[in-house]
Amino acid sequence: MSSQQPPTFGRMNRRQLMGTTLMSGAAAVALQSNGALGEDKPKAAAPAHSGGTAAAVSNPNLNPPVVTVKGGRLRGLREGKTLSFLGVRYAEAERFGQPKPVQPWTDVKNAQVWGPVCPSPPSSTVSSDELVFPHRFWTANENCQYLNVWTQNMTPSVKKPVMVWMHGGGFTNGSSMEGYAYDGRSLSEFGDVVVVSVNHRLNIIGTLDLSAYGAGYANSRQTGMADLVASLEWVRDNIEAFGGDPGNVMIFGQSGGGGKVVRLMHMPVAKGLFHKVSAQSGSASYRGTDPAAAIKGQQALAAAVLKNLNLTGSQIDKLKAVAYPDLLAAGIAAGQAVSRDLGIQVGGWNPIADDQYVMREFCDWADTIPVISGTVFSEMQGTLTRGDGRKNEWTPKEIDDNLTKAFGDKKDAVVAEFRHTYPRKKIQDVLYYAGASRGGSKSLLARKLEKGKTPVYNYVYAWEYPINGGITAFHCSELAFCFHALNVPQIKTATGGGPVAMALQDKVAGAWVRFAKTGNPSAPGLEWRPYTVDNPQAMVFDTVSESRPLQDDKLVSLLPAAPGRGGRGGAAPGGRG
């Protein structure tokens, strides 16, 4: 691609488009003895009279940790109890090209700040969930194949479980550091696991199908997913140096990230790269897909992009030098035109099943992979975006009036079913229940069980954030709990950081860590029974958490269609991600 660096771009509202440690002296010596810290050597403390030098020596990162990976050495950070390596390049690629291994280097590279994120459509509004799911944004660059690693022990022989996070934002935007909740340091320290988070190519630079224009573009429609495979190959080849076990890798993602981890089970090239999957508020199914029609649509989109940029097929290489904003604008316009002309939905930047790189069905090797899949109580139709903020203060008459207005003559049946399904919730909470969003999750688990040789698990996250009168569980609301990140200051504002919240994050993060370690999320005193079609057990995470059969099909059939979606967070829950 062009040597010109693409400019920095903001993020489009994701919902409108449908995310080290001061070691003890003994630990440091142990790491140095096995070479994990490379050339780091303990230095004698400066004398008290040396002023600024003494203060500098007190910084645990005067001599930060150094690790050797394939390609060269990396310098990280000690942050509290955690060893952090940020902005690690895992692959290189030209625009529309396949990822390739990073060229070796001879010096020590700093891995101490985030790497560039993928460019994405600009945003001009503050998303509705910013208070409860705060974001941060970063430098964008198409050369975005960077990952981050957090670990507690870099001794290769310890072989800790590895948890690889794939962010949400559909296949359009987002990054590994965008959400303050994506705090790998907190999770690594809590669970004594190695946590990895990944950036990869998105939107038009991750899915544009140029295969009709020559062998050099043969797999351009899957470059974003190819990046994720390359990141997992990097983990396989290097994670032992960080104390991780390449034979015990869990991938987990939410919203669009849920769609990513599920799609990886459809990809033959991903065989052996991961061993457990958690798909959160996002899924994917290619059953009923016609690969030929899907490819035809994608290639028509590419042809329209060229036309919009006044390029011909013989000028295809010039597409690599088109400025990203112009390329994206041409792609959006092309998607609208081709969808209208062909009468099918084209664009949206979702990877297609072509039965070549991405198969319509799960790969045979996926039969042995245990899966967690679930949703949150309200997803995109809760009190965050609807209601008067007073649901917990309504009088009995107000409750009845609101139920009658919403459900009419079905009110009594809805109330009865909701009380049976969620006996611990307030009856007015049914007004904000996104039960239909569970369909994608249940379908995924059912498909997985058809040939599966391992258990699968379902959940509903239902805890209400104690702010602004009570905010029902919104799309992304479980993530701070999964990452054990409630002590992050930006997150504590909405969760309150009280004892109930802290106890719940121990349960949620604990279940994810146990699943990473053993494939079974259960704990003494909190059994999480496997899901089956006949016995649809689900862990309901709430003030009181419990696993029980969650049969809400009748309730969902009584509820009106979900209102229009708004706000931020990614793909439709249970949808295409």
Ranges of H-type helices in 112-255: 184-191, 203-207, 223-238
Confidence (pLDDT) at 345: 79
Average pLDDT rounded to a whole number, residues 559-563 = 81
**Does 44 have pLDDT greater than 50?**
no
Task: Write the pLDDT tens digit of every residue in 511-545.
Answer: 999 999 999 999 999 999 999 999 999 999 999 99
Q: Which residue has the higher pLDDT, 568 or 315?
A: 315
Q: How confident is the model at residue 148 (pLDDT cuts 50, 70, 90)?
A: very high
Confidence (pLDDT) at 54: 53
In contact, 573 and 280? CB cutoff 8 Å: no
> Using alpha carbons only, what angle is made at residue 16 by residues 14 and 17, rounded to the nearest 5 degrees?
65
Query: Residue 476 corresponds to which amino acid?
Result: C
Measured between alpha carbons, how far is 162 from 240 in angstroms, rounded to an integer? 10
Tell me phi and psi for residue 151, to 5 degrees: -150, 160
Average pLDDT rounded to a whole number, residues 300-305 = 96
Instruction: State the average pLDDT for the chain.
Output: 89
The overall pTM is greater than 0.75? yes
Tokens representing residue 550 in the block: 């969650």
Measuring CA to CA, how many Å separate 96 from each of 206, 209, 302, 303?
7, 9, 12, 15
Average pLDDT rounded to a whole number, residues 53-58 = 60
The domain defined by 375-558 folds into Rossmann fold (3.40.50)
Query: Residue 365 corresponds to which amino acid?
Result: W
Confidence (pLDDT) at 204: 97
Indicate the helix (H) or strand (E) that contains 195: strand 194-198
**Does 58 have pLDDT greater than 70?**
yes
Quote the percentage of the chain above a pLDDT of 70: 88
Structural domain spans, the chain: 24-59, 375-558
Average pLDDT rounded to a whole number, residues 368-381 = 97
Tell me phi and psi for residue 437, to 5 degrees: -65, -20
Q: What is the largest CA-CA distance in the chain?
A: 83
Q: Given the structure tokens 């370690």, which residue do they identify?
A: 517
Average pLDDT rounded to a whole number, residues 174-188 = 96
